[in-house]
Structure formats: C-alpha cells, structure tokens
Amino acid sequence: MLTHRGPDETGFHSENGVGLAHTRLSIIDLGGGQQPMCNEDSTLWITFNGEIFNYLELRKELLSKGHRFATRSDTEVILHLYEEEGVDCVRHLNGQWAFSLWDNQRRRLFLSRDRLGVRPLFYTLAKNTFIFGSEIKAIFANPGVSREIDLKGLDEVFTYWCTIPPTTLFRNIQELSPGHSMTVDASGIAVRQYWDCQFEGTSGVVDLSQEQARCDELLELLIDATKIRLRSDVPVGAYLSGGLDSTVTTALVKKFTNAPLRTFSVTFDDAEFDESFYQSDVVRFLDTEHEEIRCSKNQIGEVFPDVIWHCEKPVLRTAPAPLYLLSRLVRNSGYKVVVTGEGADEVLGGYDIFKETKIRRFWESQPDSRMRPILLRRLYPYLQNIQNQPDAYRKAFFHINVGCQQQPFFSHIPRWQLTAKLKTFFSDATRAETAGDDGFSDIRAQLPQRYSSWDSFGQAQYLETKYLLPDYILSSQGDRVAMAHSVEGRFPFLDHRVVEFASRLPASLKMKVLNEKYLLKRCAAGLIPPSVAKRHKQPYRAPEACSFLQPAAREYMQELLSPEQIRRDGVFDGSAVAMLLEKFRKGAAIGIKDNMGLVGVVSTQLLLHQFINHFEGRMTSHAA
C-alpha cells in the first residue's frame, strides 16, 4: 500500500505480538540503512520515515559516549539517542520524522512526529490492536479496521480548510499532532507534546544596527539550515515557483552545491496563474539546469482522483494537482529529493492574511474612514471581486466592527466564516450531525496558555503555522503529492532554529508597514534577481473548479455527482449540488465560494468512492 513512499526496499520485523513494516526510499547510506533496524543487542527496533539532518553531529557525540554504530545511517542515530535519552531523544533531533520504536525491555512502543508536521503519522485502536502507518490507506489494509467517514473531520475541512489533529476524515483514525510523541504499552496510550511554536514576538523600536544584526543572524541560520538539508547520498534538486521563498532556497542551495543544480517548476496555460516570466529570470540569474511542466485545466481534472487518493482528505482548492504533476516530473528526471521554500510565509510573515489583519485593525480604529479601506483593495490586486466591491460590502466581509480586535481568532474569522458557508451543500443529516459548534471550540481547546497575551500578528502566525501548514500546505500540497511519486521535500525555513528565531522577532521586522517578509528580503538582497525581490506577492494558485468541466473529468463527474450517487452517499444535498453544477455550466459561477464549494464536493465524493465504497478495488489498482 505504501510502495510509492518507498519503492527501493521493503522490510519486516515481528516478535511477541509486535510487528513493524517499512518501505524504503533510500537517500542516506544506500547500502546499510535497511529497516526495520535494531540496536546492538536487538532490544530496540525502529521503523522511520524522514531525515535527521543533524545526524552527523549527534553521531559524533554518541560515539564519544561509547556508542558503537553498525551503519552510517541517520536511523541508527535515533536508536542510540533513545538508549541515552529515552523519549526525550526527540528534543535533540533537527529534522523531519515519523517513527515508531519498539522497546522490548520496557515492552513499549514509542512513536514520534517532527515539530512542524512534515512527515505524517496516523493510528487507530481496532479490537484491542494498535495499528499505525504513514498513511491511512495502510491502516485500512487491515481487514479488522472499519472504514467510515467522520463528519467532524469534514466539518473542520469546510471551516478551516484542513482537519484539526487528532481528528481525520475517518472515524476512529487519529493523526498524531506535530510536535507530539506517544507511548503505547500495557497501561494504554499516552500522548504528550514535546514542542510548540510560540509567537511571543518582542515589542519596542528596533534601531538600524539591531536590524542589521538580526538580518545577519537570519542569514547565518538559513545557510546552515540549507547546508544540512543537502546531506544526502543522492542528488538534491530544488522547486522554483518564481516567488521570493523558493528563489532564496534555490540561491542558497546553489551556493553550496558543486554539481550542476537542477530546478523544477510548474507553468500554466492560463496567464492568470502562470509565473514562468519570474522562473526564467531566476534560472538565468542562478544558472541552473531547469525543467518545467506545463499544466492545463484538463490535466488537473485528469489527475484529481489520484491526488485525493494520496491526500486522504477533501480539499477546497485544486492546487495540490499541479504539484502532483511536478513531483512526477522530478521522479522521471531521476531525482528523489527537492529543497523547497515552504514555511517562509508562515514564520517570516508573508501571507496576505497577516497584512489583512493589520489593515483591519487600522480600519477598525476609524470605521468611518473612506481612505483606510482603500488599503484592502491594494492588498488583493489579483482578486477581481475584492477590487470591485462597494465599501459597505467590504466592511461586512472583513468584519469591521469596533471591539472585534479582542477576539482570539480576529485574523481568521473572515476566512473561516466564508468557508463555513460552503456547508450549505451539506445534506440535512450531515448538518444535523455537525451542528452545535460555531465557536471554533476544537482550536480554542488547544491554544497555548500564553496565546491571549500575544499580539494579533503573532496569533495569526500561530494559527497558520500550527494548523494550515501541517494539515494542508505540508500534507495535501506537500508530502502526500510528492511522495505519490517517491519524492521527498526538504524545507530550510522549517528548521526549528529558524522558526524559533522568527517567533522571537518583533512583528515590525516581519512586516514593515505593509512590506511582507521584510527581514527576509533584506537578507536575500544580492542573492536573488531584482525582479523577484521587487515583485508583488502572488500566492500560488491554479485553475480551480473549471478543471472538472474538462473532458478528462467527465466520466467521474457524471458518476460521482449524479443526484442518485449523492443521495446514496448522503453527505451532500443533491439538489443544491445540481444547482451549483448548473451555475458552472452556464458560466455564471464566478465567486470564490462557488469554486471552493465544487472542489470540496468533488474531492469529498472522490474520497467516499475510493476509501469507503470501492476501497478493495482501489487498493488492487494502486498495488498494480
């Protein structure tokens, strides 16, 4: 089931009622890193997906303490570190991991997931048997596990764009949260958090010499974060979107790679989404060997069912599909590791939602101002609807009411409330089961103690980094679509040292007035082409629901969105979906909500089809 995550080798270990399985994507110590792997006396066994980037430094320390290594792999470092530190070993790791370690002496299974949630880890308890896997489909391969949709998970996607761990789209299947570890033994399951992002920030004026010092510090951290992410026994490539972040990571990789650097990009037929002008500029500037894939609406429609098979949850945008096509290009070019720019927007303050929050605060302090709302129009030059809105509507949309600023979710309420309107497509039964909580209680219950004392910029950063980053960006647009073609992403901006450094910065260094990622831009000056340094931020977007009206999608759209099928599945309201489809066919669907609605409905129906109604068939075709 998970061959796509590791096509190079498979391994199994079982003893006394415990079994570990592994599919390997060989990257470090190609000859010696087979898994599951054990320590010298076979009392510890590990199965591990990911990379420990500081393994060389940790290995040296462990050697000096008398540990003896049988391989050159990073996997073995975890085993010896566990011998030394027990479950606290994860605090020393710099990397991206999901692992399970069987401690035979304690009769205890120890599982852990990296701080930011780069690598996935799911588990369930079925008939008193604990089962875990990197993907849910591996858990479902066990015939003792039932497959049912968890409408709470669906409700979360139709509010936050993602599920909130431990909830998943499937009943009784849990996701281990980023920054958490767990133990499983005769006394039961215990989950504990070992790390969380803390966007405390600092206030006060930063003078120019301090600003330069922070800039130097950030650059030094990014250089080291990139350098250790090039540790690999196979060549490392880089994704290039044409934006600031991937240009910075590509520039840093280029600086530390002697071999010719290969870069990979997506381009679009549709000029609205295409960034090839900037990509070409970067390729010329950094002199990389470049490959690109041109993506059409029809291709998005064609691969979308496979994308959902890999994502294992509904999505509200088609954006994962082009990235699925991109990872295929990478793999076909002989590469299996790419460095990308993910994480910079969250930790260094790049997203429009941070700017929007700042402008809304500014507007709210004088709600009747005619000049202040103009800033919101400037914020979204690529969204026609926002451009043409009358002020009264813009005010309502952005929730400009005196007093709102005190709300803990001030930054995200417009987005969440807009998204929640998509629940209009839920059937009465779905609505009845998911009704009763409009107060975002699932997130509220998980907020760190000091959250309310942070400024609204830090709070917005926390919500993006803690939820949308792992459960949408790094999964549906990251790990799942990259690993679909056995490609591993590496993210210098998500080195925990960079995240912790950024979380201590004052908001004014992340966004100076309305200049996003200010410190990063200062840092990158000279490393990247001026055209990229100066360009207006354009979020990565792809052709949306129109992709489902293309010939390649016709067959599954007819089958899965027919009124009969919608009624049988029972999740959505057949006539509401029919009206939405009709609106698209007439060309009258122009709004964000209609697009998100159709992508959400189609992806949910595909999920039901592949995981609930026809799992065995899908499993067989996937294995073939």
Partner 1 sequence: MPLNDELRRFVTDNFMFGKVGNGFADDDSFLERGIIDSTGVMELVAFLEEKYGIRLHDQDLIPDNLDSINGLARFVESRLQPN
Residues at the site binding partner 1, with contacts judged by CB under 8 A:
384-386, 388-390, 392-394, 396-397, 418, 421, 424-425, 573, 575-577, 579-580, 583, 588, 590-593
> Distance from CA of residue 203 to its chain's centroid?
30
Q: How far is the CB of 414 from partner 1 (least distance, A)?
A: 9
Residue 447, classified by CB atoms within 10 Å of its CB into exposed (0-12), middle (13-18) or buried (19+), is middle
Which is nearer to partner 1, 147 or 431 (by Cβ)? 431
Q: How far is the CB of 157 from partner 1 (least distance, A)?
A: 19
Q: How far is the CB of 400 from partner 1 (least distance, A)?
A: 12
Residues sharing a CB contact under 8 Å with residue 121, sequence separation 6 or more, in sequence order: 98, 111, 113, 132, 133, 134, 175, 176
Q: How far is the CB of 37 from partner 1 (least distance, A)?
A: 53
> Distance from CA of residue 369 to its chain's centroid?
38
Which is nearer to partner 1, 330 or 601 (by Cβ)? 601
Q: How far is the CB of 318 from partner 1 (least distance, A)?
A: 18
Distance CA 360, CA 242 (A): 29
Q: Are 263 and 240 in contact (CB under 8 A)?
A: yes
* DSSP 3-state of 132: strand
Q: How far is the CB of 574 from partner 1 (least distance, A)?
A: 10
Which is nearer to partner 1, 139 or 602 (by Cβ)? 602
Q: Are 533 and 524 in contact (CB under 8 A)?
A: yes
Distance CA 19, CA 479 (A): 25
Which is nearer to partner 1, 105 or 388 (by Cβ)? 388
Which is nearer to partner 1, 204 or 390 (by Cβ)? 390
Residue 332, classified by CB atoms within 10 Å of its CB into exposed (0-12), middle (13-18) or buried (19+), is exposed
Residues sharing a CB contact under 8 Å with residue 181, sequence separation 6 or more, in sequence order: 87, 90, 110, 111, 112, 113, 191, 192, 194
Q: How far is the CB of 228 from partner 1 (least distance, A)?
A: 44
Which is nearer to partner 1, 69 or 397 (by Cβ)? 397
Q: Are 227 and 256 in contact (CB under 8 A)?
A: yes
Would you state the structure tokens that stand for residue 61, as one six-digit string? 């320390």
Q: How far is the CB of 603 from partner 1 (least distance, A)?
A: 18
Distance CA 477, CA 489 (A): 11
Q: Which of 176, 464, 472, 474 is nearest to 348 (CA)?
A: 464
Residue type, position 316, single letter: L
Q: In what order do the strands lie in the sheet with 174-175?
A: 129-133, 122-126, 174-175
Would you state the structure tokens that stand for residue 514, as one six-digit string? 């309305």
Which is nearer to partner 1, 366 or 385 (by Cβ)? 385
With the CA atoms of 250, 256, 260 and 263 taken in that order, what torsion angle do they form, in degrees rounded to the nearest 10?
-10
* CB count in 10 Å sphere of residue 405: 13
Which is nearer to partner 1, 231 or 593 (by Cβ)? 593
Q: How far is the CB of 578 from partner 1 (least distance, A)?
A: 9
Q: How far is the CB of 616 from partner 1 (least distance, A)?
A: 34
* CB count in 10 Å sphere of residue 585: 10
Residues sharing a CB contact under 8 Å with residue 39, sequence separation 6 or more, in sequence order: 79, 80, 83
Which is nearer to partner 1, 418 or 549 (by Cβ)? 418
Which is nearer to partner 1, 577 or 607 (by Cβ)? 577
* CB count in 10 Å sphere of residue 578: 14
Which is nearer to partner 1, 223 or 592 (by Cβ)? 592
With the CA atoms of 252, 255, 257 and 261 taken in that order, what torsion angle do they form, in degrees rounded to the nearest 10?
70
Q: How far is the CB of 104 from partner 1 (least distance, A)?
A: 57
Q: How far is the CB of 577 from partner 1 (least distance, A)?
A: 8
Which is nearer to partner 1, 84 or 594 (by Cβ)? 594
Distance CA 624, CA 619 (A): 9
